[in-house]
A and B are shown apart, each in its own frame.
Chain A
């Protein structure tokens, strides 16, 4: 087990390094950083001095290690779009909003997906099952931005129940918690189809086991058998799916925050893209990729812990 954790940890480290190399080379591809720093009337001496100051006269690998050191210490440079602000600081400012949105959308997707998955599994091969399949199929075929706009059109424009945009919060001192509802649904639905299908298949497996038969023979009510005995055991599979769900949330948060102008990290990334602010965009990507890789590592370890066969694969 220790050996497995070490190997997987090593792989995660390699993936992180690969991400940093990709971003470093893209930063160099996008042009000489000095172009944006030098005045029009700068002399060649000025240029040489500035180049030495930023370490751009060093060979590429030296530059890369210097960059890596900066990444590790969280020093990602200054934003171009938001003058005078540190890119990492900008990200940390936006982090609470995105975390809260992710939290509520996770609740939305679990509240929607688990019951539907259970009911669909219990009513296998009936009209309800087919309806569930169609629901899942639409979930996989509908772009999240289209769903976000549809929700906005129905609940904000036509019915006027909810606001279309802006930051709202339950936990922080911002107010307007109702502004979280639509973004949370839009982001949460993104995952519903996947979680639902997983719940269905693991429920089908559990429904077929001996202890469920025993519970029925003992005369326990069907409701209790399904929602207590089965669901508890069927829930582990969708829960360990966490890594992929997290990846979906990152992608989703960029899209959802753009649609609802929700000032989180995703919107920060899009604003940075529009302003060609490389410092900020690389900060967001390194941050997200880091979370994603570490989360997947934890999921792998968790899997191996629960299922010893994986360790030897």
Chain B
């Protein structure tokens, strides 16, 4: 006799942990985790988390390999193995690479946040003005946008690096002067669309000034767009800053910038791969997590930006 199994209806589980798990699954956990571990926590707690100083190393300890690399060779050709004192090894000046990566997260995040904020404020203000008032001011601002978009960022950075010298300010100037235009263009389009809507007309009838309409009625409707764009751009800014620093046109030595660390490991790649590899990996993970976060936020807040 065949046994008949009756499918049990799934129990509507209401236990607390499961509910939390379901709620959590709606968020991009892996990107958030990577972002926290690679970028945010090291950036905020760099002084506490970093096992060694990021500035001072001992030359007798230079080019120690990562912890899991065994010693090899004999006599004068002997290469020492790694120890857990320096998990990712040390660089050519004997500085702990892990500690420098941790401090590098702070550098990357500060550059990204400051320049995105400045670019966002400039671009949004100009975009709102252009879109709301239209006419000649709109033409002027959109011409500026075209110009900003037509100058390749790296080239501008190279000229600035020679003219002003590589510094934190130079990097910020380069990034802001390229990235503001994207906000301006996007926000202008939105403002153009919003200003012909009923609630703006009613605010006008009620006697609201232009400034008030822009600030209280139009701006709140573009904040989602701005947030999505900003998140998507943080990754790009980190990438640009790293590239500039790598080329010697970004942050100056001895800042623990990831791009600079890869640059100093470039010549050592045959003998000591780890000097360039770990900072490079940090860049990839940080940018990857920010890109994923941006994609998720876009789908969540502003699906019409698919093509961004």
Which residues of A approach B to under 8 Å, CB–CB?
Answer: 11, 14-15, 18-19, 22-23, 26-27, 29-30, 137-138, 140-146, 149-150, 152-153, 157, 247, 250-251, 254-255, 258-259, 269-270, 272-274, 276-278, 281-282, 284-285, 288-289, 292-293, 296
For the A-B complex, the count of residue pairs with Cβ-Cβ distances under 8 Å equals: 135
Query: Could you tell me if B150 and A149 are in contact, using CB atoms closer than 8 angstroms?
Result: no
| Contacting residues, chain B, for A278 (C-beta < 8 A) | 162-163
Q: Which of B162, B269, B292 contacts A272 (CB 8 A)?
A: B162
Q: Which of A255, A274, A285, A293 contacts B150 (CB 8 A)?
A: A293
Which residues of B approach A to under 8 Å, CB–CB?
Answer: 143, 146-147, 150-156, 158-164, 235, 239, 242-243, 246-249, 259, 262-263, 265-266, 269-270, 273, 276, 280, 283-284, 287-288, 291-292
Q: How far is the CA of A218 from the CA of B235 in the complex (A)?
A: 48
List 8 tightest A-B contacts by C-beta distance, closest first.
Answer: A146-B280, A30-B163, A141-B288, A26-B163, A141-B287, A251-B154, A18-B147, A285-B155
Chain B min CB distance to A71 (Å): 14
Query: Could you tell me if B143 and A142 are in contact, using CB atoms closer than 8 angstroms?
Result: no
| Contacting residues, chain B, for A26 (C-beta < 8 A) | 159-160, 163-164
Query: Could you tell me if B243 and A143 are in contact, using CB atoms closer than 8 angstroms?
Result: yes
Given contacts A15-B151, A137-B288, A270-B248, 16 further A-B contacts (CB under 8 A): A15-B146, A15-B150, A18-B147, A138-B284, A140-B287, A143-B284, A150-B280, A153-B273, A157-B269, A157-B273, A255-B243, A270-B247, A273-B248, A278-B163, A284-B158, A292-B151
Q: Is the interface of B mostly helix, strand, loop or mixed?
A: helix
Q: How far is the CA of A277 from the CA of B154 in the complex (A)?
A: 17
Chain B residue at minimum C-beta to C-beta distance from A293: B150
Q: Is the interface of A mostly helix, strand, loop or mixed?
A: helix
Chain B residue at minimum C-beta to C-beta distance from A272: B162
Chain A min CB distance to B99 (Å): 20
Q: How far is the CA of A311 from the CA of B295 in the complex (A)?
A: 32
Chain A min CB distance to B37 (Å): 16
Give the interface centre of B155, B161, B247 by most chain A CB atoms within 10 Å.
Answer: B155
Q: How far is the CA of A282 from the CA of B163 in the complex (A)?
A: 10
Query: Could you tell me if B248 and A149 are in contact, using CB atoms closer than 8 angstroms?
Result: no
Query: Could you tell me if B150 and A145 are in contact, using CB atoms closer than 8 angstroms?
Result: no
Q: How far is the CA of A141 from the CA of B159 in the complex (A)?
A: 26
Give the interface centre of A14, A141, A278, A284 by most chain B CB atoms within 10 Å.
Answer: A141
A254 and B163 in contact, given A137-B291, A153-B273, A273-B158 (Cβ under 8 angstroms): no
Chain B min CB distance to A189 (Å): 14
Q: List 22 A-B contacts (CB under 8 A).
A: A15-B151, A22-B156, A26-B163, A30-B164, A138-B284, A140-B235, A141-B288, A143-B246, A143-B259, A143-B280, A152-B269, A157-B270, A250-B152, A255-B247, A258-B247, A269-B158, A273-B162, A274-B248, A282-B159, A284-B158, A285-B156, A289-B155
